[in-house]
């Protein structure tokens, strides 16, 4: 994937994480997607189970905002270093993390998300 292709894809995919619209977000993922993040380290396989997860996740975080910091193209997709601004209670927590994204026919087949959750977990009651 070229840097320009990765940048273009990221410019439409990353904003779909904001606004509590899981149906819009899931459109970027293939039927046989594999997804991992710190809350689901065992991963989620398949578009339908991922949609259920996104519905819960985005409902809890409707106002978070994601910004691309750096994009590193790979043979099958790209790695993305990002900044997330997440509203928790009356504060905004900033997290930096990395996504590994693989695509086939314009859809994400693998999405691995890595970041330090400790700042977020300190707000759990």
Asked whether the predicted pLDDT for residue 123 surpasses 70, the reply is: no
Statement: residue 94 has pLDDT above 50: yes
Cα 55 to Cα 42: distance, rounded to the nearest angstrom:
18
pLDDT(125) > 50: no
pLDDT value at 67 more than 90: yes
H or E segment and range at residue 110 = strand 107-115
**Higher pLDDT residue, 79 or 116?**
79
Residue 100's CATH number: 3.10.450.50
User: To the nearest whole number, what is the mean pLDDT of the chain?
Assistant: 92
pLDDT of residue 119: 64
- Mean of the pLDDT values across residues 82-105? 91
Give the count of domains, the chain: 1
Q: Please tell me the distance from the alpha carbon of residue 85 to that of residue 5, in angstroms, as a whole number.
A: 25
Confidence of residue 6 (pLDDT cuts 50, 70, 90): very high
Contact 29, 47 (CB under 8 A): yes
Domain of residue 42, residue span:
3-121
pLDDT at 97 over 50: yes
pLDDT value at residue 91: 84
């Amino acid at each position: 994937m070229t840097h320009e292709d990765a940048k273009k894809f990221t410019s439409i995919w990353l904003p779909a994480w904001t606004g509590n619209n899981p149906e819009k977000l899931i459109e970027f993922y293939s039927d046989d997607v594999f997804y991992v993040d710190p809350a689901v380290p065992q991963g989620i396989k398949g578009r339908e189970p991922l949609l259920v997860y996104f519905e819960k996740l985005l409902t809890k975080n409707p106002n978070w905002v994601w910004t691309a910091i750096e994009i590193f193209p790979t043979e099958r997709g790209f790695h993305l270093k990002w900044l997330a601004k997440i509203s928790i209670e009356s504060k905004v927590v900033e997290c930096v993390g990395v996504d590994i994204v693989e695509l086939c026919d314009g859809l994400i087949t693998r999405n691995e998300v890595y970041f330090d959750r400790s700042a977020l977990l300190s707000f759990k009651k």
